[in-house]
A and B are shown apart, each in its own frame.
Chain A
Amino acid sequence: MTETQNHQRKHLVLLFSLAVGMFGFAYALVPLYQVFCEVTGLNGKTSGRPADPVTISDTLVVASDREVTIQFLAIVGNGMPWEFRPEKHQLRVRLGEINTIDYYARNRANQAVTGQAVPSVAPGAAAKYLHKIECFCFSQQHLEAGEDRYMPLRFYIGVDLPEEIHTLSLSYTLFKVPEVQVAALVDKQS
């Protein structure tokens, strides 16, 4: 084997590994994207976990007089046979104060259905100041045929919310969880 052939083989192996590595990189982008969104609160994604109790007690002490409007939206995803609406469409809340609002859900289908609510906050920059203590979106909701339920959401808005934000919109889109995913998702949420 000549020297050129040796070089060629080395280059071939290197370049081929680069291609395979880039295929893996495409998949690595998925967790990177999730982490990036969670850390920065960009994209209007709220944290999928309850707020830390210590932070809550600290915040309560410094509840400010500043009031903002929070609007609630409920959207039913494609193929989801539920009725889904917030009990009130908007609230005037003080920063740092804990509020509760109920969402009403009723399964109109004649069979049991599992649903998952996915939150989104507009403006996106406000997402990381919206702290949820209790939310039906933290887990899947299961309703038997015809069953209905009031689902509570307890939250407060951080006192450090940027000055220029006066109104927040919190939207929940309720998706039907396909049967194959029900089991898998239970693992993921816990």
Chain B
Amino acid sequence: MVVQAQDIPHRSSLLAYIARWLLTTNHKEIGTLYLCLSFTLFFIAGAMAMVIRLELFQPGIQFAQPLFYNQMVTMHGLLMVFGVVMPAFVGLANWQIPLMIGAPDMALPRLNNFSFWILPFAFTLLISTLFMEGGAPNFGWTFYAPLSTTYGPPSTDFFILAIHMMGISSVLGAINVIVTIFNLRTPGMTLMKMPLFVWTWLITAFLLIMVMPVLAGVVTMMLTDRHFGTSFFSATGGGDPVMFQHIFWFFGHPEVYILILPGFGIASQIIPTFARKKLFGYHSMVFATIAIAILSFVVWGHHMFTTGMPLVGELFFMYATMLIAVPTGVKVFNWVATMWRGSMTFETPMLFALGFVILFTIGGFSGLMLALVPADFQYHDTFFVVAHFHYVLYPGAIFGTMAAVYYWLPKWTGHMYDERLGKIHFWTAVIAVNLTFFPMHFSGLAGMPRRIVDYSLQFADFNMVSSIGAGLLGLTQILFLYIVIKTIRGGEKASAHVWEGAEGLEWTVPSPAPLHTFETPPPFPVIMDNSERTQLDE
């Protein structure tokens, strides 16, 4: 017997309200919970970024002491990766995958509830380390040994527990996604007919199951090194700190694809809708995604070129890394080809998707530069690296999520968002992103090291520009929050089909999507002529 939120008696008390959300097993409600958590942490981690940029506004130490600065850098990274991007994608998966494959719910609803409710506790634990004696973890989000073992603050143990909890949540969530996709597709939807968002999530879920346990393993080794006398990463007892980096990046590199593949899927849904054409090269898109996922397991060494790796290793990782540019290029060209001679319109989701394609490609190019061993020796641990991964994460993962929110928000809430405000949000965000992160390329190439509270005078101008951009970027997200709340509370009524060029099962249910959909599997493929669309809208 599955508990549904509406089955809870309406006692109209606070307790009933809490119980409703605490016990819900409905994929739409859990999706909403994930997205709310992600949005909340987005502002908390964003506030930490503001502290970082405020401190870097001018050379010298003004607002943050070095130790506190290091804590901000670490927590900003950890929260953005594990608390913002990953839960946002899981939230989108929860809402959309059952709707897109014609399933009544996720395959394992109670597991779904459990995977979500671990997270608030994990992040409360992680954030609480800021108030502990000795401060929060201060060794960067990559927590290299021995910084995190021998020299880690006492709060490191809480960090380890928090990572374990997040890992369990992600693995359970990923298992749920795979079981749902394999078992609950509506008759007629073969794997190669699934929407690309579902495909990319299927592959992401496999990556999660394969690498999150490795992360759990490495933090467990840290824990036993810290307290139980083992020496995995301590040379004293025959261990090796460099091995930490190998194991960490064996997790870490597939992880960066976990953070971007669902974004690829979102762009592949949105661009065909607003270009009013079918996605160009569907099969090649699927195979490119699989190729990226497989290659991601053999390129971890490119994070470690300067550890004294032998030449043959450097060459292997360099060529393997550059090979990833091929399937990624296939995807970018397919998106461009989809738009070619399409009747394009530029509503907000399309703008964000286009921003995603263009700016992510810039991040991809700087990634290629970093893959070159001789060049990497200069770029390593400079702001060039910071510029690179913020270009793939902000306009990549975050713009992708925003595009998805604008695209599906009318389906979720039944209201159209304010198109004018949406466009203002996009244009200010796109200007602010470039203002913030583009100058980092230059300061990095000139030699400004990352993760250091102070910097040499010649970097002052670039940093001031970055900080002004960051402030603007922070403000635009408050506008985003306003737009989302305004849309939830009211606005122009959205039709079932919402977007003229949209295709897929999710557009056959009314807007807002009722709590229960597809209790009987819907017919597939969807055949809708205009008269049917009009009927549905009435």
Residues of chain B within 8 A of A116, CB atoms compared: 236-237
> Would you give the 0/1 interface string for A1-33, flagging 1 where the beta carbon is closer than 8 Å to chain B?
000100110011001101111111111011001
Residue of B nearest to A178 (CB): B229
B236 near A118 (CB under 8 angstroms)? yes
A44 near B308 (CB under 8 angstroms)? yes
A78 at interface, CB cutoff 8 A: yes
Residues of chain B within 8 A of A181, CB atoms compared: 229, 231, 236-237
Given known A-B contacts A15-B178, A23-B213, A43 and B183 have beta carbons under 8 A apart: no
Residues of chain B within 8 A of A39, CB atoms compared: none
Residues of chain A within 8 A of B213, CB atoms compared: 19-23, 25-26
Residues of chain B within 8 A of A188, CB atoms compared: 238
B235 near A173 (CB under 8 angstroms)? yes
Residues of chain B within 8 A of A23, CB atoms compared: 213-214, 216-217
Complexed CA–CA distance, A19 and B208 (Å):
9
Partner of A18, one of B182, B183, B209, B234: B209
B183 near A26 (CB under 8 angstroms)? no
> Would you give the 0/1 interface string for A24-52, flagging 1 where the beta carbon is closer than 8 Å to chain B?
11110110010001001011100000000
> Would you give the 0/1 interface string for B166-191, flagging 1 where the beta carbon is closer than 8 Å to chain A?
00000100110011001110000000
Interface SS, B side: helix
B308 near A175 (CB under 8 angstroms)? no
A7 near B250 (CB under 8 angstroms)? no
B308 near A11 (CB under 8 angstroms)? no
Interface size on B, residues (CB 8 A): 39
Residues of chain A within 8 A of B161, CB atoms compared: none
Within 8 A of B (CB), among A90-130: 116, 118, 122, 124-125
A8 near B235 (CB under 8 angstroms)? no
Residue of A nearest to B210 (CB): A22
Partner of A178, one of B107, B236, B246: B236
Given known A-B contacts A42-B310, A125-B310, A175-B235, A12 and B229 have beta carbons under 8 A apart: no
Residues of chain B within 8 A of A125, CB atoms compared: 310
Residues of chain A within 8 A of B536, CB atoms compared: none
Partner of A7, one of B183, B217, B313: B183
Residues of chain B within 8 A of A12, CB atoms compared: 108, 175, 179
Task: Give, as a whole number of angstroms, the nearest-CB distance from B312 to chain A.
Answer: 9
Complexed CA–CA distance, A37 and B240 (Å):
11
Task: Give, as a whole number of angstroms, the nearest-CB distance from A188 to chain B.
Answer: 7
Residues of A bordering B, CB below 8 Å: 4, 7-8, 11-12, 15-16, 18-27, 29-30, 33, 37, 40, 42-44, 77-78, 116, 118, 122, 124-125, 173, 175-178, 180-181, 184-185, 188
Starting from the known contacts A8-B179, A16-B175, A118-B238, 5 additional A-B residue pairs (CB-CB under 8 Å) come to A8-B183, A15-B178, A18-B209, A22-B213, A43-B308
Residues of B bordering A, CB below 8 Å: 107-108, 150, 171, 174-175, 178-179, 182-184, 209-214, 216-218, 221, 229, 231-232, 234-238, 240, 242-243, 246-247, 250, 308-310, 313
